Amino acid sequence: MFNHINRTLWAEFAAGVRDTIPLLLGAAPFGVIFGALAITSGVNWWAAQGMSLFVFAGSSQFIAVGLIDQGVGLLLIVLTTLIVNLRHALYSMSLGPYLKNLPQRWLLPLGFWLTDETYAVTIRRFTSIEPSPHKHWYMLGSSVAMYTNWQLCTLIGILIGSQVEDAKTWGLDFAMVVTFIGIVVPMIRSYPMLISALSAAISALLLNGIPNHLGLFAASVIGIGAGAISERWNSQRQPVAEEIAP
């Protein structure tokens, strides 16, 4: 019985790693560029690697390095990166019902390791009809894969950062855009989801010029609001349609 449980746990872990591999390919150039960009922006190698180890938030790390390069104060850097990472609170609320019974020794590392990519594969696993009491091991596998990949790619970027003048000219950051498209599109399975995605995308483009990347946060709120309104309208409309149907 014990050996069977162990096999089940590690099977979930391995499945999480396997399903995350395609997303690792998109995140890898992003990590390399961050490491190189941090070095060319004057950040010490240990500080750059430390950001990946203890912050582990790609978008926020890029923003922080840019603000450091501009000589912005620490408080503004912290507030800006906090706002950019508020989307993770939404991820946590979505995953909460599936993780609420786990002890703190599980919740703390899983919360720290939560990324866009891990959320995308994990929520599909949690909402799948296949029953399993060990789906959190799937999330652990995805999390460890993402974390390890990010550390290695950051280190590679640091090592080669001194060899280039401007890492931003590589153009490899487009790989992350493609990755996010690959994350979002398969999850659009209803009209409310489509409306939410389109509203957020259009708002992000229109609000792109707002300082400190506040446009991204505003676009997230607009997308969520549009999706919620659309879902409520759709749920109210369906009973009416059923009543008048012959």
Q: pLDDT of 185-219, one tens digit each?
A: 777 878 888 898 899 889 988 988 887 667 777 88
- 166 in the same domain as 200: no
- In the chain, the amino acid numbered 89 is A
Q: Length of the chain, please? A: 246
- 147 in the same domain as 216: no
243 confidence band (pLDDT: 50, 70, 90):
very low
Whether 177 is covered by a domain: the verdict is no
Q: How many domains does the chain have?
A: 2
* Domain termination residue (choose one: 170, 204, 230): 170
pLDDT digits (tens, 9 = 90+) for 28-54: 888 888 888 888 878 899 999 999 999
- 125 in the same domain as 21: yes
- 142 in the same domain as 68: yes
Per the model's pLDDT, the better-predicted residue between 246 and 103 turns out to be: 103
What CA–CA distance (Å, rounded) separates 179 from 116? 10
- 149 in the same domain as 50: yes
Stated pTM of the model = 0.74
- In the chain, the amino acid numbered 223 is G
User: Residue with structure tokens 């396997």?
Assistant: 18
- 233 in the same domain as 166: no
56 confidence band (pLDDT: 50, 70, 90):
very high
Give percent above pLDDT 90 in the chain.
32
- 140 in the same domain as 212: no
- 155 in the same domain as 66: yes
Whether 72 is covered by a domain: the verdict is yes
* Domain termination residue (choose one: 109, 137, 170): 170
- 202 in the same domain as 147: no
What CA–CA distance (Å, rounded) separates 199 from 201? 6
Whether 183 is covered by a domain: the verdict is no
Domain that holds residue 244: 188-246
- State residue 86's pLDDT score: 77
Whether 87 is covered by a domain: the verdict is yes
Q: Are 84 and 63 a contacting pair, CB within 8 Å?
A: yes
User: Residue with structure tokens 């080669």?
Assistant: 160
Least confident of 76-85, 128-137, 178-187, 215-224: 178-187
